[in-house]
Structure 1
Amino acid sequence: MKKSQLLETIQDMPEEFSIDELMEKLLILQKIEEGQQQIRDGNFFSEEEAKLKLEKWLK
């Protein structure tokens, strides 16, 4: 995460917030970044592949 993203996130928070609320928001942003990087790297399943995996897990 870049410092600018952190500052923007803090600016978007209400005037008063808890550290837990900030941490939750930062973790969500980090997970989104990780997912976007996985897509750029080609590490993902197609919709059909995901459906097949879910079928196996849900049986």
Structure 2
Amino acid sequence: MLTKSKLREQIESFPEEFSIDELVERLILVEKIDRGNKQSEKGEVISESELDNEIEKWFK
């Protein structure tokens, strides 16, 4: 979940003028990275071979 401090940090890193779309895209990316890091810490990952199998299914 996004916190106020992370939101402030992201807004501070933007130029003086930016679109709301740019901000929303950045916040979504930050949230996804944070979620992925938490999943990794919990061991909720798949092996490279499992990933290859999943990708192979996409193209069938």
Q: TM-score band (shorter)?
A: 0.7 to 0.9
Per the normalisation by structure 2, the TM-score is 0.82
| Higher helix residue share | 1
Q: In the alignment, what sits opposite 2:14? A: 13
Q: In the alignment, what sits opposite 1:26? A: 27
Residue deviations 1:4-59, cap 9 Å, x none?
21111111101001111111110110011111111112111111111122223322
- The sequence identity of aligned pairs, in percent, is 47
CA distance in 2 between counterparts of 1:26 and 1:58 reads 31
Which structure would you say has the larger RCO, counting Cα contacts within 8 Å and 6 or more residues apart?
2
User: Which stretches in structure 1 are left out of the alignment for 5+ residues?
Assistant: none
Count residues in correspondence.
59
